[in-house]
Amino acid sequence: MSMTDPIADLLTRIRNAHNAKHDLLDSPTSRLKLEICRILKEQGFIADFELSGDEATRAQLRVFLRYADDGEPAIQHLQRVSRPGRRVYRGAADLPPVLNGLGVAIVSTSQGLMTDQEARDQRVGGEVLCEVW
């Protein structure tokens, strides 16, 4: 069966793994999911990610989750903004800071995936994929 929104599937897997206090999760891989994980790692929301498996079998994206010393997950809120049924596009001037700059919006631009702050700095807009804080 084909999946209509693989990005929402990845975000849901991350939320569910945090709720269950898991240390890692596996997800089917794609270049877009790898870029989303790269941004989440750069911003400190996940500990690490890697490709597991070999090319003969379908490679899996393994995400290592990050928790605070008291067991609180690093990600408090993870929400899909643009969906297949309702695409959300914003220009560079229309990208408001998420949670007054404490959160991050991941934006798909013509120059690749980047955070909302990077998109404002480079003056490019695009599709707002998700918000994280």
What is the pLDDT of the chain when averaged over all its residues?
94
pTM (two decimals) = 0.93
| pLDDT of the residue at 3 | 79
Question: Looking at the chain, which residues constitute the CATH 3.30.1370.30 domain(s)?
Answer: 6-65
> Residues of the chain whose pLDDT is less than 50?
none
Q: How far apart are the first and last CA of the chain?
A: 32
Question: Where in the sequence of the chain do the CATH 3.30.1490.10 domains occur?
Answer: 78-132
Looking at residue 55, its pLDDT comes to: 66
Are the C-beta atoms of 125 and 105 separated by less than 8 Å? Answer: no
Which three-class secondary structure state does DSSP give residue 113? strand
Q: Where are the beta strands (DSSP E) in the chain?
A: 24-28, 46-52, 60-65, 78-80, 89-90, 104-109, 112-115, 126-132
Decide if 131 contacts 79 (C-beta within 8 A): yes
| CATH of the domain spanning 78-132 | 3.30.1490.10
Dist CA 112 CA 2 (whole Å) = 25
Percent of the chain with pLDDT over 90: 90
CATH architecture assigned to 6-65: 2-Layer Sandwich (3.30)
